[in-house]
Amino acid sequence: MRYQIMYIPIFIGLFLVVGFAPSCNPAGLDDPDPIIEETGDVDLYVSYANKSLLFEHIPIFFNEKLNKDFTSTIWVDPTTKYQEIDGFGVAITGSSCYNLLHMTDENREDLLKETFDPVEGVGYSYIRISIGCSDFSLDEYTCCDTPGIENFAIHDLDKRDLIPILKEILAINPNLKIMASPWTCPRWMKVNNLNQLEPYESWTSGQLNPLYYQDYATYFVKFIEGMEQEGIPIESITIQNEPLNRGNSASLYMTWQEQAAFIKNAMGPAFQDAGLDTKIVVFDHNFNYDNVSDQQDYPLKIYADAEAASYVDGAAYHAYGGNVSEMLAVHNTAPDKNLYFTEMSIGSWSYSFESDLMWSMKNLGIGVLNNYGKAVIVWNYMLDENGAPNRPGGCTTCYGAIEIDSKDFKTLDRKSHYYLIAHLSKVISPGSTRIGTNGYTTDNLYYTAVANPDGTIGVVLLNDSEHSIKITLDDENHSFPLTIAPKSIASCKWKK
């Protein structure tokens, strides 16, 4: 990653240090300054909600003696272990690919390295793609629009746009995990409802005809195998994006009863017969189940069917309704099943960088992790200044994590979601384990800690108050003071 020197005094405990910041500059990609490297005992990354600092890297040093002021100390406890973390990232949609492919090759490579390189960049490590179209594609389509599963083929738009971008990202980060989700099944598999079972040739709404369960299971298998042949492994799939949302530009209504029946009668056995180890994840919708009374506890209802549950890795959630605490409630009932956070968008609705950075880190970052989430994925990577390309009937007011100016396809504005994922990814590695924390607490201070596979400790802290908060972090071997500015995020990593 390129760095430009910034002579900005920042107080860390009692020490005055000079920091330097990565060139995450909304003005563009150009960066004439030389690469600067500094090291310390602790790598600290700081962002202020007022944008005066954005992902500032500050090397700091341990105390010579362990801290004795216990009143403001936060202890991290690697002996108390919770869930393993898979990673953090963003959706790579057809629209994101369209914008990326309009950049120059050099600028796109620089941006993808900044985003996905775990050493030189911020290290995004988990992305989500659609199986067929989403509401951020260049058209409505599936991988089998001609009736008959023998007509399955990866769509030409995905061959042209999605697959080349995924290959570029995987060349930068070969350990990247990919989750795939359909927005709709092929229209010839749809019926209007499960009572009348009349054909329903619409991209929007409808339900999966049980007569096509086997064909649809084969559809998933062929997609996973087809992507594998392209050198793109699919780590996990969700059965349906937002199964309780009938109104998206491409959508399919799918109750928990339908998912349970489809899994145990078709999908699970099909994956098993094909020798696939791709994880099957259920639900993939809001914390409040869209307030549909008979769909409450959606994943738990599926888990209650032992045969269906035997094929299921876990459940995924979005945050357009309800509270992240639902993940904890599901974990407490089904602790053997995993939990993922897979979608939240920002957009023109009441958006400000400051308020969203604070809300998102509290709820989607630290909140998801502290409620047993294994991954955090936001929606979506890149759109232009008009929230485009998008589909009629889909979201036309969404922002990307990165906004690109369509006049030059170079000028970038990194939004709050970009920094949310950066702060998590840079200090929390895939394969890390969330660990215990105890000690100092105060209003509007939130934090989480992990033990990384390389022996480092990663901690992410959020100060959502109007005043600075002074703490000491202590792992029983080392300690160091930290003053967290008002309305800011501090991510740090050190060798235990």
Kindly report, residue by residue over 235-251, the tens digit of the pLDDT: 999 999 999 999 999 99
Residues near 390 by Cβ (< 8 Å), separated by ≥ 6?
95, 135, 136, 383, 396, 398
Host H or E run for residue 439: strand 433-439
**pTM of the shown model:** 0.92
What separation, in Å, do the N-terminal and C-terminal C-alpha atoms of the chain show? 25
Q: Which amino acid is at 383?
A: L
Crossing angle of helices 163-172 and 94-101, rounded to 10°: 80
| Chain mean pLDDT for the chain | 92
| CA 81/CA 438 separation, integer angstroms | 13
Over range 193-207, report the average pLDDT.
Answer: 98
**Could you tell me if 344 and 366 lie in one domain?**
yes
Q: Given 370, 398, 427, which residue is the final one in a domain?
A: 427
**Could you tell me if 94 and 34 lie in one domain?**
no
**Could you tell me if 61 and 103 lie in one domain?**
no
Q: Which domain holds residue 483?
A: 3-77+434-495
Residues 403-414: tens digit of each pLDDT = 999 999 999 999
Cβ neighbours of 153 (radius 10 Å): 13
Is the pLDDT assigned to residue 252 strictly greater than 50?
yes
Q: Which CATH number characterizes residue 390's domain?
A: 3.20.20.80
**Could you tell me if 39 and 136 lie in one domain?**
no
Residues 308-366: tens digit of each pLDDT = 999 999 999 999 999 999 999 999 999 999 999 999 999 999 999 999 999 999 999 99
**Could you tell me if 386 and 447 lie in one domain?**
no
Is the pLDDT assigned to residue 46 strictly greater than 60?
yes
372 and 366 in contact (C-beta within 8 Å)? no
Is the pLDDT assigned to residue 11 strictly greater than 80?
no
Q: Given 401, 427, 453, which residue is the final one in a domain?
A: 427
**Could you tell me if 22 and 152 lie in one domain?**
no
**Could you tell me if 129 and 228 lie in one domain?**
yes
Cα distances (angstroms) measured from residue 289 to each of 176, 295, 342, 472: 30, 6, 15, 40
| CA 221/CA 338 separation, integer angstroms | 22
| CA 406/CA 456 separation, integer angstroms | 41
**Could you tell me if 295 and 374 lie in one domain?**
yes
**Could you tell me if 207 and 279 lie in one domain?**
yes
Counting the structural domains of the chain, the total is 2
Q: Given 427, 452, 481, which residue is the final one in a domain?
A: 427
Contacts 24+ apart (CB under 8 A), 9-17: 10/46, 10/53, 10/56, 10/58, 11/483, 12/44, 12/58, 12/60, 12/481, 12/482, 12/483, 13/470, 13/480, 13/481, 13/482, 13/483, 14/481, 15/60, 17/58, 17/59, 17/60
Q: Give the pLDDT score at 283.
A: 98
**Could you tell me if 490 and 378 lie in one domain?**
no
Residues 56-98: tens digit of each pLDDT = 999 999 987 665 666 899 999 999 999 999 999 999 999 999 9
Q: Which CATH number characterizes residue 58's domain?
A: 2.60.40.1180
**Could you tell me if 146 and 287 lie in one domain?**
yes
Helix (H, G, I), strand (E, B) or coil at 131: strand
**Could you tell me if 163 and 201 lie in one domain?**
yes
